Amino acid sequence: MRASSRRDTMKKTLLLCAIIFSMVISGCATENGGTQQTGTQPASPPSAGESELAKNVDISGFAFSPGTITIQKGTRVVWTNKDAAPHSVISDTGNELASDAVSQGGSYAHTFNEPGTHEYHCGVHPSMKGKVIVE
**Which residue ranges form the domains of the chain, and what is each CATH number?**
54-134 (2.60.40.420)
pLDDT, one tens digit per residue, over 10-57 is: 666 655 544 554 444 444 433 333 323 333 344 545 444 444 689 999
pLDDT, one tens digit per residue, over 90-117 is: 999 999 999 999 999 999 999 999 999 9
| Of the candidates 3, 129, 117, 19, the residue with the CA atom closest to the CA atom of residue 71 | 117
Angle subtended at Cα 67 by Cα 122 and Cα 114, rounded to the nearest 5 degrees: 85
pLDDT for 9: 72
Residue 65 scores a pLDDT above 50: yes
What pLDDT band is residue 128 in, cutting at 50, 70 and 90? very high
Q: Is the peptide bond before 126 cis (omega within 30 degrees of 0)?
A: no
What is the value of pTM for the model shown? 0.64
Contacts for 15 with CB less than 8 Å, ≥ 6 apart: none
